[in-house]
Chains A and B, each alone.
Chain A
Amino acid sequence: DVQMTQSPSSVSASVGDRVTITCRASQGISSWLAWYQQKPGKAPKLLIYAASSLQSGVPSRFSGTGSGTDFTLTISSLQPEDFATYYCQKANGFPWTFGQGTKVEIK
């Protein structure tokens, strides 16, 4: 099975900071990658699909890049509501494995 590895596991940042999260697949997955945001006690929310397509209603400060094995989620200017845990997920072939998550915390 393809393994998904996120880094870092956590990041401390301030409002207005640029934050970058990386997701690496153990085998190439083309652009079949999604990013989610999850806040405590809530269901995940789709941010990015197909590696770089912004889901409807998601602020443009979120962006995704990458293909093959290396992917990046960038928050261009961190807002108070962005403090959450972020997950990547491969979206082709089963299992649709998630990364282990990256917690974005307030510095």
Chain B
Amino acid sequence: EVLLVESGGGLVQPGGSLRLSCAASGFTFSNYNMNWVRQAPGKGLEWISYISGRSSSIYYADSVKGRFTISRDNANNSLFLQMNSLRAEDTAVYYCARVFTGGYDYWGQGTLVTVSS
């Protein structure tokens, strides 16, 4: 069974940092490209970052470029999102998602990040 489990969310002050993790199981992690998607409270979905299976290609949304860093550890089946210089508008549920042919076929349950003083 494919499982994606996010962790690392919480309350952080503006300007602070957090590192999100996504533990993958049930599939050959290194064979799949992965993404982070977020959803602010009561709002729609926002793609924020992509990383290819071997980490050779990485992309970011303009809203997080220069502040967030995506990475992965294929030996430990884990995906990460390092978030620095956090702002109130980064408050959201953050999902990791596996790339399928033209879509995301598996999603984690999400982890809530709240940026507030």
Q: Whole-angstrom distance from the CB of B29 to the nearest CB of chain A? A: 18
Q: Within 8 Å of chain B (Cβ to Cβ): is A32?
A: yes
Main secondary structure of the interface of A (DSSP, over half): loop
With A43-B110, A94-B50, A96-B50 already in contact, the answer to whether A89 and B103 are too (CB < 8 A) is: yes
Establish whether residues A34 and B44, one from each chain, have CB atoms under 8 Å apart when the complex forms: no
Q: Within 8 Å of chain A (Cβ to Cβ): is B1?
A: no
Establish whether residues A50 and B105, one from each chain, have CB atoms under 8 Å apart when the complex forms: no
Q: Once the chains are docked, how many angstroms separate the CA of A38 from the CA of B43? A: 12
Q: Once the chains are docked, how many angstroms separate the CA of A94 from the CA of B59? A: 7
Q: Within 8 Å of chain A (Cβ to Cβ): is B45?
A: yes
Main secondary structure of the interface of B (DSSP, over half): strand
- Digit string of B84-109 for contact with A (CB within 8 Å is 1, else 0)? 00000000000100001111110111
With A49-B102, A50-B102 already in contact, the answer to whether A95 and B109 are too (CB < 8 A) is: no
Which of A49, A92, A98, A100 is close to B47, meaning CB atoms less than 8 Å apart?
A98
- B: number of interface residues (CB 8 Å): 20
Contacts of B44 in A (CB 8 A): 87, 98-101
A window 35-89: CB within 8 A of B: 36, 38, 43-46, 48-50, 53, 55, 87, 89
Which of A33, A44, A101 is close to B102, meaning CB atoms less than 8 Å apart?
A33
Looking across the interface, which residue of chain A has its beta carbon closest to that of B98? A46
Establish whether residues A96 and B107, one from each chain, have CB atoms under 8 Å apart when the complex forms: no
Establish whether residues A44 and B104, one from each chain, have CB atoms under 8 Å apart when the complex forms: yes
Beyond A33-B102, A36-B104, A95-B62, 8 additional contacts (C-beta under 8 Å) are: A43-B109, A44-B107, A46-B103, A49-B105, A89-B47, A94-B59, A95-B47, A100-B44
A interface residue numbers (CB < 8 A to B) = 31-34, 36, 38, 43-46, 48-50, 53, 55, 87, 89, 91-92, 94-101
B interface residue numbers (CB < 8 A to A) = 35, 44-47, 50, 59, 61-62, 95, 100-105, 107-110
